[in-house]
A and B are shown apart, each in its own frame.
Chain A
């Protein structure tokens, strides 16, 4: 199976999961941002260009599923993927705990940005009274389910190939 087909399979599976099971699981009204975590992890594993492309299509599918204008998430996800990829390239060491914290921060920033861009385009997507709690809850829930998603995204974007060999020198 080619890498593109694998990405399509992962995105469609995620779309269905987001529309069905994950919609039912809510805490404080917040739910998992599955397509966003796929965009972030695509940037992490696939590099900035491939990550941005996967993130764009993840955003389009998310826009189609939700009652938001087409292009809203597709506008936010690619820069998020590129930013994560850029940070990943600059990290000297990577541990599961730091990766989880980084993912939590990236998800929180992503949801904030989506809310902000939504407001710029005249949407009022969040109840201002519960905005912060909802965003943080959604970010924590999203981070909690990241482990299996990480494996799927890695399989999709790397296609079973070993990741790029990176030469890093500390302090240069």
Chain B
């Protein structure tokens, strides 16, 4: 039998530590500001080292990808060629969709491309294993962006800013299970709440749209605006499955317009009325 360490009091110590951890968790969930500030402070202290490390490892990463990612790159190229051919074949449909979207957007007198935005570069996945459907970008509060702002590409909505530090931010992708956005079907004008499914490129509407509402396949959806955190009329995607046969609860499947693979740059949409000092 192992000799007991005379100075060890593991049980009381462990209980005190667990109580402290639970207290911190509770206070954090109650929104105690100093705890957020502490976490942000730690990240801000580490930030210069991370930036330096990013700069130093960039060439190594590029070389690594060039050597070990060549096959993946070749396959990706082939996939894109097939995709390009398919897109050319669907050009007429796409043009019709674009025309429909533009017509509907012009009816509410807002052009999607007119939003003020800050361009951000994707740095990659955030540290740790808690980073599914999250990406890190290279701008923060110093550049005038804030938590909750919409993140888009030319194709449409990508996600929202989840956590904003001084010079880095985390983007919660639209496919994250916790992501929610108010959407409007451009033809029927029905509104609903879309949420991420955890599956690549797929959102789902489970509330808001009436059971008897006419929803067609490939119908375009945009953000509804209003009381939502996001500005209205940002393209979200197309209906993949309208679930027209639902008896009790309708579950409409949406294909996200923006491709979340192989992104390099994104745009953070700034509010229409910017506070003074914001770019």
Contacts and interface: CB of A to CB of B under 8 A. Distances in A.
A164 B53 contact: no
B144 interface: no
Contacts of A15: 42, 46
A71 B198 CA distance: 25
Q: Which 9 A-B pairs have the closest CB atoms?
A: A48-B10, A71-B24, A20-B53, A64-B42, A71-B25, A75-B21, A89-B2, A125-B130, A127-B132
Interface stretch (A25-33, A93-101, A144-152, A154-162): A25-33
Contacts of A31: 127-129
Contacts of B1: 167-169, 172
B10 A24 contact: no
Interface in A90-140: 90, 111, 118, 121, 123-130, 134-135, 138
Which bucket holds chain B's interface residue count?
35 or more
Nearest to A63: B39
Q: B25, B39, B128, B134: which has the most chain A beta carbons within 10 Å?
A: B128
Contacts of A53: 13, 17
B77 interface: no
A23 interface: yes
A133 B162 CA distance: 26
A66 interface: yes
B227 interface: no
Nearest to B35: A70
Q: B42, B126, B176: which has the most chain A beta carbons within 10 Å?
A: B42
Contacts of B176: 124
Interface string B72-108: 0000000000000000000000000000000000000
Contacts of B198: 124, 127-129
A135 B128 CA distance: 11
A79 to B, nearest CB: 7
Given A53-B13, A85-B10, A127-B198, A26 B125 contact: yes
A33 B49 contact: no
Interface in B1-39: 1-3, 5, 7-10, 13-14, 17-18, 20-25, 28-29, 35, 38-39
B136 to A, nearest CB: 9
B128 A78 contact: no
Nearest to B64: A24
Interface string B146-187: 000000000000000011000000100000111000000000
A74 interface: yes
Interface in B204-251: none
Contacts of B163: 67
A71 B125 contact: no
